[in-house]
Amino acid sequence: MTVQLRRDDLHASVSDPESASMNFLNEVAARFPDAISLAAGRPYDGFHSTDDLERYLRGYLAHLEALGLDDEQRQRRLLQYGRTNGYLGALIARMLLVDEGIEVPEQAVMVTSGCQEAMVIALRGLCARPGDVVLAVEPCYVGLTGAARLLGVEVVPVPESADGLDPDTVPAVAAAVRASGRRPRALYLVPNFANPSGASMPVAARRRLLDVAAEQDLLILEDDPYGLFGLGDEPRPTLKALDTGQRVLYLGSFAKSCFPGARVGFLVADQTVVDAAGRRTLLADELSAVKSLLTVNTSPVAQAVVGGFLVEAGCSVRAAGKAKTAFYRGNLRALLAALETSFGDDARVRWNTPAGGFFAVLDVPLTVDEAMLETSGREYGVLWTPMSFFYAPGSGGGRRSIRLSCSALPPERVGEGVRRLAELVRDRAEPR
Ligand SMILES: Cc1ncc(COP(=O)(O)O)c(C=O)c1O
C-alpha cells in the first residue's frame, strides 16, 4: 500500500487561491497554445540569448580580477557557498545611485533569489508577533499576497485609485487595524506602472505617502520592477529616492532588466536596528539570518551572470536598457491604440491609460471569470487575466475587469489579440 496524503492535511498555502489562479492560467495557456496571450506578464523572449551568459560570466570574472581577486579566489567566489547577503551590493548600490538617485551603503543591499524572495524575507523579518499585519494596495500583485499567506501574515487591503495608492486612505485603514488589537507593520505597493493595474502615483502623492508613513509609524515596502519602462522620459522618483527618514525598504528585480531565469533580485534595508543592550546594526544584516534559512545564499553563478550584466551596463540599467524600454513603449502604445480602435465606440467598455509598464485594465460589461477565460481561449483564441485574481478571495473585486499584458508579444500580435477580445465582449456582453 503506497502512502496517500490528504490534501486537507497540507498547509493552506498548497491550495492557496492565488497560486490556484495562476496554475489555472498556465493550464489554460497550455491547452490553447495558439491563442494570443494578453495574460503573460513575462518579458519578451527576443531580448534573451544564451550567448549572453558566457559574455556576462567572463565580464564578471574580469571585474573580480580587476578588484584584485586571484584565480583561486575567483573560482571560490563562483563555485563555493557564498556570503549570505551576496556579492553584488557595491554594483547594485552604484546602479541605484546612477539610475534612481538612491543613496544607500552597499552593506544595506541583500541580493536575493528574485524579488519574490525579498518579499518573503521582508515580511518574515518585520512581522514578528501574531497580529502583526501588512497593509497592501488592492488590487495586489499575487506574489505578495501569496507570500504573506505562506508565512501566516494577514494582508489588509488599501484600495487603489486611478492614480495609484491615495496616501490619505492609509490612516483610516491603519487605525482600524490598531483598533482591532493588531499592529500594521508595513505597507506594500508598486508606485510605478503597477502590476496588475498599470497605475502610477503622482510625485506629490509619493511625498505625501512618506509623511503619512512617518505619522503612522509604518514602514513601506516599495516594489519597483517596471520603473524603467515609462512611456515618456519624465523622472519618476522612487519612494526610496525621496525617503529621508529610512521609512522605505526597496524591493528590486533583475527579471525585466536582465532576464527572469537568472532569478536574481535584491532588497535594500538601510534601517538601523537597536537591541536591548543598545547595540546598533543594519536591518539588512539582521535579515540575513532569515535568508540563510531560506536559500543559504543566492546562487553565486546567477549573481556572476547578473554582475557581468551590470559591469557591461556601466551600472546604468536605464542607459543599457534603452532598446527594451523602446520595445515595451511600442507595445503599450500598440495596446492602447488597439483598445481605441476596437472599443472606442462602445460606451460600456472602459480602460485606463497607464503611463508605462506592462499592464492595462479593461472594464467590460460581462463577468470575466475562469469559465469565461476558458471560452475565450477555446472559441476566440485570446487569453487574458481576470482582475478578480488580484483581489481578496470572496471580496467580489475585479469581477468585470480584465488585466491586459502586452510585454511578451511581438508588437504586431497585440492588435489582433485585442480584436479577438472585442469579439468576445461583443458576443458575451450581459444585457443591462
Ligand atoms: C510587482 C512585481 N513584483 C515582483 C515580481 C517578481 O520578481 P522576480 O521575478 O524578481 O521574483 C513581479 C513579477 O512579475 C512583479 O510583477
Range of the domain at 109: 54-319
Chosen domain end from 266, 293, 319: 319
The answer on 330 and 287 residing in a single domain is no
The answer on 335 and 242 residing in a single domain is no
The answer on 223 and 335 residing in a single domain is no
The answer on 179 and 68 residing in a single domain is yes
CA–centroid distance, 370 to ligand 1, in Å, is 23
At residue 36, φ and ψ (nearest 5 deg) are: -80, 125
Chosen domain end from 319, 338, 366: 319
Could you read off the pLDDT of 221-269 as tens digits, one per residue?
A: 999 999 999 999 988 999 999 999 999 999 999 999 999 999 999 999 9
Helix or strand holding residue 3 (H, E):
none
pLDDT at 81: 97
The answer on 80 and 190 residing in a single domain is yes
- Mean pLDDT, all residues of the chain: 96
Could you read off the pLDDT of 53-92 as tens digits, one per residue?
A: 999 999 999 999 999 999 999 999 999 999 999 999 999 9
Could you read off the pLDDT of 340-351 as tens digits, one per residue?
A: 999 999 999 999
Beta carbon of 143 within 6 Å of any ligand 1 atom: yes
pLDDT above 90: residue 209: yes
* Least confident range of 26-30, 209-213, 265-269, 336-340: 26-30
Pocket test for ligand 1, best of 117, 119, 141, 256 (most atoms within 8 A of CB): 141
Q: Is residue 122 part of a domain?
A: yes
The answer on 252 and 182 residing in a single domain is yes
Beta carbon of 223 within 6 Å of any ligand 1 atom: yes
The answer on 351 and 254 residing in a single domain is no
Confidence band of 94 (pLDDT split at 50, 70, 90): very high
3-state secondary structure 189-231: ECCCCCCCCCCCCCHHHHHHHHHHHHHHCCEEEEECCCCCCEC
The answer on 156 and 262 residing in a single domain is yes
The answer on 359 and 232 residing in a single domain is no
Give the CATH number of the domain where residue 418 resides: 3.90.1150.10
Q: Is residue 9 part of a domain?
A: no
Three-class SS state of 13 = helix
The answer on 85 and 194 residing in a single domain is yes
Give the CATH number of the domain where residue 297 resides: 3.40.640.10
The answer on 62 and 24 residing in a single domain is no
DSSP 277-345: T--EEEHHHHHHHHHHHHTSS--HHHHHHHHHHHHHTTT-HHHHTHHHHHHHHHHHHHHHHHHHHHHTT
Total structural domains within the chain: 2
Cβ count near 276 (within 10 Å): 5
Three-class SS state of 263 = coil
> What residue type is 380 in one-letter code?
Y
The answer on 114 and 245 residing in a single domain is yes
Q: Is residue 388 part of a domain?
A: yes
Q: Is residue 180 part of a domain?
A: yes
Beta carbon of 59 within 6 Å of any ligand 1 atom: no
Chosen domain end from 272, 303, 319: 319
290 is written with which cell numbers? 532569515
Could you read off the pLDDT of 177-189 as tens digits, one per residue?
A: 999 999 999 999 9
pLDDT at 21: 81
Q: What is the dihedral of CA 186, 192, 193, 194, to 10 degrees?
A: -10
